Structure 1
Amino acid sequence: MAPPAAGGTAGPVGPAGGDGRAVSPLDNPDGTKPGLAAITSAGDKAEARALIKKVATKGRGPKTGYARDEFGYAWMDSAPGGVPFSHNGCDSRNDLLKRDGEDVRFRGGSTCVVVSLTLHDPYTGRTIAWTKAHATKVQIDHVMPLSYDWQMGAAHWSKGKREDIANDPLNLIPVDGPTNGAKSDSGPASWLPPNQRIRCSYAVRVAQVSVKYDLPVTPSDKEAMLRQCGG
């Protein structure tokens, strides 16, 4: 695989936008608050490393048998494990657009279907003016990609647990579509957000999902995660 991305290679999405309303993952352990703000202080980076050190490791298994629908259809509102936003009458994609978007507008007569918004994309550090007519300009990233999850142990989970991780807001971030496509199913040793200032936050979010679901990462991915937070 290619080395981690080092700079803004995403397509044109507008001027730099900063963190917007984004919250540090250290202050957002259930993923219900917006965005992925940078972790900058020495104390917070030490807290981040302590969390990452809790992550278990193992080798990446085969992809045999993987299919997206093994994790339920995209996007659902019926994840069975009680993940935030589930069973609220709105599918998880729209939940995440509402969580992270600003100036959100809905389809007429709906409080669910988002038709336009402004997104401060954490992965590129840019601001995206998004409309549903150009839906793929913003995609919902699985921080721990579903194929990766499958190879690291989810192949042996119940269907319900797979549906949970696929729809858990802790594992979901709206981001620039082409950048999400470039990530594919890479772990942190092979891909990191082009926006270097949020790479520690990204590593923390991977660790939060890993610990919650008792899902290992590869040793090289854990090493890369620690490096992003000064370890």
Structure 2
Amino acid sequence: MKIAILGGTGNIGKGFALRWGQMHEIIIGSRDLEKAEAVAAEYNEVLEKYGHMATITGTDNRTAAEKADIIVVAIRYSQLGPVMEMIRPFIENKIIISVVVPMEKNMCYISPGAKHLTVPIESKEFNSEYFCFSMPEAGSAAQEIQKMLPDNAELVAAFHTVPAKKLADLEMELDYDIGVCGNSMYSKEIVFGLVNDISNMRPLDVGPLETAAMIESLTPLLINVAARNEMKDISLKFI
């Protein structure tokens, strides 16, 4: 399959390219054509060291979407509107995979006298940063994307809980569960196959697209848990 990764020069895009590039044709999409081409060459070199003759190319987001069978939207939420408007004429009859998470960093202030604190706080107020899910009016980023698609394009939301650094580390086996939601069993089964293409990952059906908010909100949850408990790049496994 030809898989376009819009935002493929970013952290999560690198992991997808290196994992799927071993068996699929990958097109790295970016707002910066030269950066996309350079990054694609870098990914090919990495896979060559592991004995894989990959076909990874780089281009702009619009061209990547036009050439691909499957399009992974791995961009920041703030970029969603302009990118989707640009690629809309080229995505009819294609499967779109959203890994977009609308989240923001907030600050809370805790009194030094708070009984639940287990460490002494010398300042008058304890500054604590945390990430939270910023629910769009449509309910989720995936539902927002759905409104921007032509009627014959199919959308699936998945891969929100994959740690980017570990995904890009080909030395690691990723024993994770991946929640997948969408309104078409055909498109979900295609995504199940892509999950299974990554050794030891397990796809789980979360439900229709309306459940996307639940899996999108897991991303800031995992970031907060990791930051507060001296953990790195954590994910989920249902047992």
TM range (shorter): under 0.3
Length-normalised TM-score, structure 1: 0.23
In terms of fraction of residues, the more strand-rich structure is 2
Given the two structures, how large is their TM-score scaled by the length of structure 2?
0.23
Q: Quick check: which has more Rg, 1 or 2?
A: 2
